């Protein structure tokens, strides 16, 4: 008897892995253009970080905001907390360093167990050397731009990076309003990534929510940090799923994505 073909069967490889479709790998491992949602623990309960990490299982990365009260007017956590958190969760850590002297400190966050380390270009004396050091130590190297920092001077540095973070608020605090004026910079950065044929992830951070995520995806972002929109929700894991689905839909019709 002929095998009956299932009319809606999805061919292997057609579904992003790690998104509940049966592939246990994280989405980014085998699906470079996948949408990623990174909840920011800045909006979580710091006395219960391990539980708060568990509450967003299914997220791609856990975004960890490190602030030193010098680069930004706020103070959060440092290397020992990252070390403990890395041991307490299976979700890889995306460490966003809002600290001065990034050249000195960033490598220590790789040693602490972060899978991705983001330094601010405004705080790095030698960004190329630092990105190479982060990669050599085994983590993904990422560089962040504050709202007033343009992308254009860094075009030649992009191949040195695994991710670029465009801040969509002034860094320092969760719960701020999304800066729409950053959308052109996201668009221009996506154009540079395409122009050079890079597999560089483009992250947005600050004010990303159900109300703003589609605009970010449409402009070219593919990694979305969300603090208050996830941890302020009654069901944080549900909020991650909802944000992912909004971003996926917006990406699928975005002009920058068509043809991929
Ligand atoms: C702000 C931090 C963000 C913050 C985002 O400086 O870098 O990661 O947690 O919080 P929301 O999503 O609430 O704007
Ligand atoms: Zn952040």
Give the residue, out of 65, 67, 68, with the most ligand 1 atoms within 8 A of its beta carbon, to mutate for a pocket test: 65
Q: What is the pLDDT of residue 258?
A: 74
How far, in Å, is the centroid of ligand 1 from the Cα of 58? Answer: 19
Cβ contacts of residue 27 below 8 Å, gap of 6+? 16, 17, 18, 19, 34, 35, 36, 60
* Distance set, CA 207 to CA 26, 163, 187 (Å): 25, 19, 18
Q: What is the pLDDT of residue 1?
A: 45
Alpha-carbon Rg for the chain in angstroms: 18
Judge if the beta carbon of residue 172 lies within 6 A of ligand 1.
yes
* Nearest alpha carbon to residue 39 among 212, 208, 169, 245: 208
Judge if the beta carbon of residue 76 lies within 6 A of ligand 1.
no
Judge if the beta carbon of residue 225 lies within 6 A of ligand 1.
yes
Q: What is the pLDDT of residue 34?
A: 85
Give φ, ψ of 64 to 5 degrees: -115, 110
Q: Which ligand is nearest to the CA of 73?
A: 1
* Nearest atom, ligand 1, residue 74 CA: 6
Q: What is the pLDDT of residue 31?
A: 54
Judge if the beta carbon of residue 200 lies within 6 A of ligand 1.
no
Could you list the mean pLDDT of each consecutive 10-residue stretch along the chain, which spans 260 residues?
40 45 60 82 98 96 98 98 98 98 98 98 98 98 99 98 98 98 98 97 98 98 98 98 97 83
> Rounded to an integer, what distance in angstroms lies between the CA atom of residue 214 and that of residue 228?
17
**What's the pTM?**
0.90
């Amino acid at each position: 008897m002929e095998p009956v073909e299932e009319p809606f069967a999805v061919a292997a490889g057609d579904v992003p892995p790690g998104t509940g479709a049966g592939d246990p790998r994280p989405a980014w491992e085998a699906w470079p253009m996948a949408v990623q949602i990174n909840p920011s623990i800045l909006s979580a309960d710091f006395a219960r970080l391990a539980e708060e990490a568990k509450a967003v299982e299914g997220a791609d990365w856990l975004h960890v905001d490190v602030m030193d009260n010098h680069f930004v007017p706020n103070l959060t956590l440092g290397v020992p907390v990252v070390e403990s958190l890395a041991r307490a969760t299976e979700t890889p850590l995306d460490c966003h360093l809002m600290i001065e002297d990034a050249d000195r400190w960033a490598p220590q966050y790789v040693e602490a167990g972060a899978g991705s380390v983001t330094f601010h270009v405004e705080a790095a004396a030698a960004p190329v050397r630092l990105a190479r050091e982060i990669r050599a130590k085994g983590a993904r190297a990422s560089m962040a731009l504050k709202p007033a920092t343009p992308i254009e001077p860094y075009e030649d540095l992009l191949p040195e990076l695994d991710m670029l973070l465009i801040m969509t608020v002034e860094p320092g605090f969760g719960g701020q309003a999304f800066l729409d004026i950053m959308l052109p910079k996201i668009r221009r950065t996506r154009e540079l990534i395409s122009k050079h044929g890079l597999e560089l992830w483009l992250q947005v951070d600050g004010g990303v929510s159900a109300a703003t995520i589609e605009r970010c995806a449409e402009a070219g972002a593919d990694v979305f940090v969300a603090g208050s929109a996830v941890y302020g929700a009654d069901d944080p894991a549900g909020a991650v799923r909802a944000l992912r689905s909004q971003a996926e839909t917006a990406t699928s019709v975005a002009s920058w994505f068509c043809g991929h």
